[in-house]
Structure 1
Amino acid sequence: MFEGAEIHLPLFLDHQSTTPLAPEVRDTLFQTYEQPGNQDSLTHAFGHAARQTVQKAKRHIAALISAHADEIIFTSGATEANNLALFGLVTPPYAGKQVITTPIEHSSILSPLKEMEKQGLTVTFAAVDGQGRVSLTDLESKISGQTALVTIQSANNEIGTIQPLSRIAALCAAHGVPFHTDAVQAAATEKIDASLPGLTALSLSAHKLYGPQGIGALFIRRGTSLSPTLFGGDQQNSRRPGTLPTALIAGFGTAAKLAHQNRDHDHHSLASLAQRLRDILIQNPHVDVRFNGDPDNRLPGCLSLTFGRIEAEDLILEMPELAISTGSACLSSSGGPSHVLTAIGLSPEEAGRTVRIGLGRYVTETECAFAASIIVAAYERLLKTQ
């Protein structure tokens, strides 16, 4: 019990890594799994029902990002969507071609770019400031006749900084350069407008907006070609092969519908929760902590905290009641300092003292206060052992 309320432990505060299934999504999954059907089986009612389910989900996902349903390609997740965008929009041979990105992108962007670089691609990084905001001046100065693609996250998964998408898209449109954005982190709480002139492709993942794991999507603007040499099969207009997982897609559609309906409420609720947690930590005279990322243009539930004197891993081990992380779930076992944190100016030692807290739709104000009290107590205990 805490402040008269029962707290179920461990308390999940790692919503940037994944989100719990919304109850409505769980219901959709179970209902869909009860009906067999392949959307490509058009000789019977079950196949027609599956196709209708897929099309309905497409409409909900498209509505979330102000797109058209026929611009949605389903993938196994955001990593595949990002790879599909990169390898589909930047065709070999790569020699003489350039992709511009930032040093704080997700590994599902940076890793394939490294492989493409080995094959002759020029990868150029636009500068970011100490809050993770891309420099539009530097970005524009690096666009050239060789630029085949600009790819920049909508919002960073470690520090929560939101990029000025409309200005980036306008800049790319002015230079006639395709623009792709990984919108995975932003879609649950921020308005994403895929109709922006200059925005060519956009990646999504269901499990970052209270949907199921194992399903994602890539928005591709009408009239945009993907490399035909990479993909076999005739599913999804030959853009991505494989039988579509109807139930996962249905769950994704429900999650997108809920995100669309709840976006403003979720944004303001999470901002309020994050502010309370921040206030408790900052006002405690025994806790040496600073917050990373843009204080104004940020994901409302994402908190990156660098503590004084205490290692992040030690702090996390001292708090088994809380599920938080040291950074991106995809890189948590890499052993090195976060490339995002070092790119915004933190030393490797400071990066090693940084934790990420991700608040979500179902976290309560009492749970937030409880988490802050646990962090304070754990920090004070570790200080005493030094």
Structure 2
Amino acid sequence: MTGKPIYLDHQATTPLAPEALQAMLPWLSGPESLGFANPHSMHRAGRAAAAAVEVAREQVASLLPRGGRVIFTSGATEALNQALRSVTRGAIAYSAIEHSAVVNAAIASGEAVHELPVSAQGLVDPEVALPDGVGLVAVMQVNNEIGTIQPVERLAERAQEAGALFLCDAVQGAGKLAPPEGADLIAITAHKLYGPKGIGALWVRDGVKIGPLIAGGGQESGLRSGTLSPALCAGFGAAAALAKARMEQDFQHLSGLAELARSVLSRWTVNGSESARWPGNLSLRLAGLNFPRLLSDCRDIAFSAGSACGSGTGAPSRVLTAIGLEPAEARNSIRLGFGRYTTHDEVETACRALEAAAQAQGV
């Protein structure tokens, strides 16, 4: 393969939508326009910047349930930390396939932690036993490594029946699926829905009390100190509005790409459920596959073995281990992530190259 690399790693990050870039540019300009003004200042330029922030807040809120508020953060990791370290009122239960941002923040909270098992399909049983004294249950909407969609509505009901709050990491689902209506707290990030890196949000249901994670000037109603970037907020808002408008169109496009990829890589095994999954995420394995060699042989294709956040450790994927794969099977796995701007030609070309490279390995 030669020419432009084919990007198939949309779970790690997405390209910036042109509409998001255009929304950001006025707030990235030089001194002649005052677009750089501090949105927390009381003068005219500051008020204009603050207005742009509030427009963006409403656009982001449109992806989330009614009856809550959006707190801007630096990303989902910060949002999850704020939720787990400021509202917990007892033991924390999280699924065995949660992102490290949930697992490590829960451990750092100082509360007792409990891991909820998942099936070989990569799904949490909606009737799973919750531990006594649980104060918060955390289950993600869509898994970032294998794409399985969790039964978060029922799990939220179960948590609330137990007197606990329900936290949902909706990073991979926001703007792509209907929001988890039963959640009390939801974390999302812009760069997974074609917005800029460096900004995310924590949605908090009305009546749920949270505390600040960062002390300082008291911005974001005292819940998240630090000067907001109007440019990042505007880009996030525009990306959210676009995602909402294109939700069905994007889903149909990605479903077609996934079907095409499966037809080319027909002898590869899907990790996790084949039905309860987001079509933009395809986790596959092939017995005997040497992933580092595949990555080298297909260097014009951007794909991964699993989570970008956990790569480079040398250990088998925690998610693939949780669904029952042996270490060798986990190491024989790849993840293909399709996106809004991925073409059918790119998917067919990439998958044929991956299959040819695998066959060249003798597997």
The TM-score by the shorter chain falls in which range?
over 0.9
* 2-structure distance, mates of 1:189, 1:296: 16
User: Structure 2 CA distance, aligned partners of 1:228 and 1:307?
Assistant: 46
SS of 2:136's equivalent? strand
CA deviation string 1:204-258 (max 9, x = no partner): 0000000000000000111211135864431111111101111001000000000
Instruction: Tell me, yes or no, if the aligned pair for 2:75 and 2:200 is still in contact at 8 Å.
Output: yes
**Deviation at residue 143 of structure 1 after TM alignment:** 3.8
Displacement of 1:170: 1.6
Alignment of 1:125-136 (within 5 A): 125-136=115-126
- Matching residue of 1:15: 10
Residue 84 of structure 2 is matched in structure 1 by 86
SS in 2 for 1:360: coil
Q: Is the 8 A contact 1:72 1:219 kept in 2?
A: yes
- CA offset at residue 137 of structure 1? 2.3
Match of 1:39 in 2: 39
The answer to whether the 8 Å contact 2:214/2:224 transfers is: no
Partner of 1:123: 113
- Residue in structure 2 matched with residue 325 of structure 1 by the alignment: 304
Superposed, 1:181-196 pairs within 5 Å as 181-194=168-181, 196=182
Letter in 2 for 1:245: S
SS of equivalent to 1:262: helix
1:81 partner SS: helix
Q: How big is the shift at 1:357?
A: 0.5
**Contact 1:9–1:322, Cα closer than 8 Å, also in 2:** no
**In 1: Cα distance, 2:209 partner to 2:222 partner:** 11
> 1:238-281 CA deviation, whole Å, 9 max, x = no partner?
11110111100100000000010001110111011111110111
Instruction: Indicate the residue corresponding to 1:172 in structure 2.
Output: 159
Identity %: 39
Partner of 2:352: 373
Give the conservation status (yes or no) of the 8 Å contact 1:304–1:355: yes
Q: CA–CA distance in 2 between the matches of 1:51 and 1:302? A: 37
1:223-238 matched pairs, under 5 angstroms: 223-227=207-211, 231-238=215-222
Partner of 1:299: 278
TM-score (norm: length of structure 1): 0.89
1:4 match: none
Please give the TM-score of this superposition, normalised by the length of structure 2.
0.95
Match in the other structure for 1:250: 234
Q: Deviations over 1:307-358 (max 9, x none)?
A: 1211222211110110000110001111100000000000011111111000
- In structure 2, what is the Cα distance between the partners aligned to 1:219 and 1:112? 17
Structure 2 residue 325 is matched with structure 1 residue 346: yes
**DSSP 3-state at the match of 1:28:** helix
CA RMSD of aligned residues (A): 1.7
Residue of structure 2 equivalent to 1:155: 142
Query: Structure 2 vs 1, CA of residues 230 and 148 (structure 1 numbering), >3 Å: closer, same or farther?
Result: farther
8 Å contact kept, 1:67–1:193: no
Alignment of 1:68-147 (within 5 A): 71-90=69-88, 97-116=90-109, 119=110, 121-138=111-128, 141-144=129-132, 146-147=133-134
Counterpart of 2:134, as a letter, is: T
* CA shift in 2, pair 1:205/1:102, >3 Å: same
- Number of corresponding residues: 358
| SS of corresponding position for 2:277 | coil
Q: CA deviation at 1:298?
A: 0.8
Q: Is the 8 A contact 2:141 2:168 kept in 1?
A: yes
C-alpha distance in 2 between matches for 1:15 and 1:8: 20
1 or 2, which has the higher helix percentage?
1
Question: Unaligned 5+ residue runs, structure 2?
Answer: 30-34
User: Which residue identity is paired with 2:92?
Assistant: V
Contact 1:188 1:208 in 2 (8 A): no
1:110-159 deviations in Å (ceiling 9; x for gaps): 1122333xx4x211111210011101222xx2242x21100111110000
Match of 1:206 in 2: 190
